[in-house]
Amino acid sequence: MRALMVVMLAAASMDVAAADPSEAKIDQLMSAAAKPAAARPAEPKAAKAKANEPDSATSLVGQRVAVTTRSNGLYLGTLTSVTRDALVLAIELPSRNLSYSVPRSSVASISPR
Amino acid sequence: MTLLFIAYGLSFIIGILMLVRVFKASVLDGVLTFFIPLYFIVPLIKHWSDPDHDIKFHVLALFACVGMALWGATRMTQEFAGDPGGFLSSHLVSASAEERQKFVQDMRDEGIAISAEDEKAIVSGNKDEVAKAFGHVMETAHAKGLGEEAVSVGAATSGGSRKRDAEFDNPRPVAVPDRPVEVMSYAEAARRAVFNRGRWTREATGFSVDVPARFRLISPTDARRLEQARGRAEDKRLMGWILHENLNLADPDIWHVSMRWHSDGWVSSIAFDPAQQLTTALANKTPAPRVAVSAGDLVGYAAVPQLEGQVLSWTEERVLTNSDTHVVDCHALRLGLRGMLEFSIVGMEPGSLALCQTTVRLLADKSSFLPGKEYVASAPAGVAAAPYTVATLPTHSY
């Protein structure tokens, strides 16, 4: 019986190892999406300390900027305000002018355009 | 067909008689003969000279029945190939009116157009009228074309007079044949949808998709029914839906991957600058997206365009029309010699960005073009170029 269980466990682990990494990632993301949203983790101390430092983004307020995000995203617009939590861009869309807020935690870089 | 049924009936009776004889000789041999194919050879040899238990004449008769069944099946096939209308009508006249009506409905379910007059003639049961109606239905079906299935059948029966990869070789967008999409409720369309697993090949277009283990592919016909049931305009480029096994198709708000084929020609893979692309896209007040997108304005790229190998991928964040709701549309396009295969998820919540991107990218990686139809880096001779490039596609400006 023990040998049978060992063989079954080995087979199961081989199956997991053989799965495509992208497929495994999708499974994880699907499971995460199915679970209720977890409480937001506390902001790291380093980030808190950084928040107290002078903000270079404030110097770009009023300018047209390109904001790149940590997920390789890109947003273009006029920087209208900078807060501790977000950068606010004014983006001109075909049908309206949008005030778009980019969370500071997801910003990778900001540069004038 | 009658001969086939007689042969089946006779072989059944002879088989029972043979089994009884073997049981009388040995219960064990009888059980083994019943459950194990070809085990009858053992009692055949064992009791060859035993006049009470030998089964050589039973086996001989069984072989004769098999020969008769094969001959009957061959004749039936030839009869059908020679005159399908006559063959079907001769068998339909012996069916009940309800069965004939059901037959008409089944044909309609398969996308074959049948006029009211033809339906009346088929249901009437009159052999001549049924044959005439069949002839008319088949003429109409051939004239209109029946999608890929009809192309395959046409190529096989008409000596290949119809080009199999007409869809692939045509550099312009090819309209899907005017197959009437049935109007039905979403629940009914979802119930009827067939899930495909493993490798799914579309030879007419020249690509195949190795459907990942946890995903299911829904064919173009079923996907169009589902789209129609959701009140969407018919998408002529739609090749199917792909969805994760954990999602319930019965839910009309389910997210899925739309697989679409663009037969616009060879797409140039020139270098591009995402910032410049986004500038162009935002400046364009009348965008004309080639890819499937949500109804709304582009806000930015949630993931900038990237060309890795022969797969172009990017993700757009959009704000829905007359709403403040933001969604992401993920795209991964595999380039081919004369077009591109698109995998898109539209209208996903921004919080599911990673799932959206990973899924379309995985499917693009799992797709491939058949030999001779793969992408080439430089413009191939004799192949029309698409009116867009990998640089202009994400801008929706051409």
User: pLDDT at position B163, please?
Assistant: 41
Q: For residues A74 and A68, is the Cβ–Cβ distance under 8 A?
A: yes
* Highest averaged pLDDT of the listed ranges A40-54, B72-86, B114-128: B114-128
8 A C-beta contact, residue B162 and residue B171: no
Q: Could you read off the pLDDT of A40-81 as tens digits, one per residue?
A: 455 454 445 454 555 778 889 999 999 999 999 999 999 999
Minimal-distance CA residue of chain A relative to B365: A22
Residue B213 reports pLDDT greater than 60: yes
| B81-108 pLDDT tens trace | 666 666 677 777 777 878 888 787 777 7
Residue B34 CB partners (closer than 8 Å, separation 6+): B19
Mean pLDDT computed over B189-197: 90
DSSP code of residue B241: E
Q: Where are the domains of chain A?
A: 2-34, 56-112
**Beta strands B257-262; B238-244: pairing state:** antiparallel
The Cα A106–Cα A112 span in angstroms is 18
Q: Return the CATH number of A56-112, one of 3.10.310.50, 2.30.30.100, 3.40.50.150, 3.20.20.100.
A: 2.30.30.100
Residue among B279, B319, B354 minimizing CB distance to A98: B319
Residue B162: how many CA atoms within 13 Å on its side-chain side? Answer: 19
Based on the number of CB atoms within 10 Å of its own CB, is A106 exposed (0-12), middle (13-18) or buried (19 or more)?
Answer: middle
CA atoms within 13 A on the CB side of B197: 5
Q: What is the pLDDT of residues B310-333, one digit of tens each?
A: 999 999 999 998 889 999 999 999
In the DSSP assignment, the letter for residue B310 is T
Identify the contact set of chain B against chain A, taking CB-CB distances under 8 A.
Answer: 212-214, 244, 246, 274-275, 278-279, 282, 284-287, 297-304, 306, 315, 317, 319, 321, 352-355, 358-359, 361-362, 365
Q: Which of B275, B297, B353 sits opposite A95 (nearest CB)?
A: B297
Whether residue B148 has pLDDT greater than 60: no
Burial of B270 (0-12, 13-18, 19+ CB in 10 A): exposed
Task: Out of B279, B302, B362, name the one closest to residue A73 (CB).
Answer: B302
Gyration radius of chain B's alpha carbons? 29
pLDDT reported for residue B155: 34
Alpha-carbon distance of B340 to B310, in angstroms, equals 10
Percent of chain B with pLDDT over 70: 85
Bridge partners of residue B306, in order along the sequence? B313
> CA of A18: how far to CAs of A11, A15, A23, A24, B304, in Å?
10, 5, 10, 10, 31
Beta bridge partners of B329: B316
The answer, for A24 touching chain B at a CB cutoff of 8 Å, is: no
Does B280 score more than 60 pLDDT?
Answer: yes
In the prediction, which pLDDT does B142 show?
56
Instruction: Say what the pLDDT of residue B108 is.
Output: 72
Torsion angle in degrees (nearest 10) through CA of B283, B289, B294, B299: -20
- Closest Cα in chain A, distance from residue B299 (Å): 7
Contact B299, B326 (CB under 8 A): yes
What is the value of ipTM here, to two decimals? 0.76
Given CB atoms, is A113 within the 8 Å cutoff of chain B?
yes
Determine the longest span between alpha carbons in chain B, in angstroms: 96
**What is the Cα B315 distance to its own chain's centre?**
28
pLDDT digits (tens, 9 = 90+) for B244-253: 999 999 988 8
C-alpha torsion sign, points B170, B176, B177, B178: negative
| Chain B: closest CA distance from residue A22 (Å) | 6
Helix (H, G, I), strand (E, B) or coil at A81: strand
DSSP letters of B312-348? EEEEEEEEETTS--EEEEEEEEEEBSS-EEEEEEEEE
Tokens of B36: 């194990």
Q: Give me the pLDDT at residue B154, please.
A: 34
A76 and chain B in contact, CB less than 8 A: yes
Mean pLDDT of A94-99: 89
pLDDT digits (tens, 9 = 90+) for B335-392: 999 899 999 999 999 999 999 999 999 999 999 999 989 999 888 888 889 999 999 9
Task: Say whether A73 and B358 touch across the interface (CB within 8 A).
Answer: no
Length of chain A (residues): 113
Please report where in the chains the tokens 């064990």 appear, as a residue. Answer: B28
Q: Name the residue facing B352 among A19, A27, A33 (closest C-beta).
A: A33
CA B110 to chain CA centroid, nearest Å = 12
Q: Compute the nearest-CA separation of B359 from chain A (Å).
A: 7
Chain A residues within an 8 Å CB radius of B353? 71
Residue A75 pairs with which residues in a beta bridge? A67
Q: Where are the domains of chain B?
A: 2-82, 84-144, 186-395
3-state helix/strand/coil string of A35-75? CCCCCCCCCCHHHHHHHCCCCHHHHHCCCEEEEEECCCCEE
Q: Is A66 on the interface with B (CB under 8 A)?
A: yes
Q: Would you call A23 and B286 a contact, using CB atoms and an 8 Å cutoff? A: no
What mean pLDDT is predicted for residues A36-40?
Answer: 52
Distance CA B197, CA B231 (A): 27
Task: Sort out which chain A residues have CB atoms less than 8 A from B287's CB and list them.
Answer: 94
User: B388 in helix, strand or coil?
Assistant: strand
A27 contacts in chain B (CB < 8 Å): 214
Q: List the B199-202 sheet strands across, edge first.
A: B199-202, B207-210, B367-369
Please check whether residue B106 is in contact with residue B95, taking contact to mean a CB–CB distance below 8 angstroms: no
